[in-house]
Amino acid sequence: MVDLGIVVPAALLALSCNLCLLSAIAAGRAESGSWSWALGLFAGILLLGGSVGAAGWVVLTLGDPYSSGIGVVVTVLLGFLVAVVLGFLEYVAVGLRSRFVTDLRGSLWPTRGGFKEL
């Protein structure tokens, strides 16, 4: 039987990772320096923090064996794996399947040296 206590944190993780991915794609497609570019980057940073927080909630809900920094990192990576699959399905649903890989490669992500394409 599935513990329903994990459903809400896992759904929040999937949602925040998916929205972070879509905002990074939107920032990558926008003209550099425009308002939509800035909004995409700002939203991406906020949602990345939300994804890490949701991953921490998932790890705490699972209990002691996974309650470490490594558990949070692995959970964030799994969340973004789910987000890529969901993003692809969203692109398929609106008929833009052929542009998904190009948009994903052009997405902007925060790094130590600024924002870089994937």
Instruction: Read off the pLDDT of residues 8-66 as tens digits, 9 standing for 90 and up.
Output: 888 999 999 999 999 989 888 888 888 888 888 888 889 989 999 898 888 888 776 55
Give pTM, 2 decimals.
0.84
Cβ(30)–Cβ(37) under 8 Å?
yes
List the one residue out of 58, 43, 45 whose CA is nearest residue 12: 58
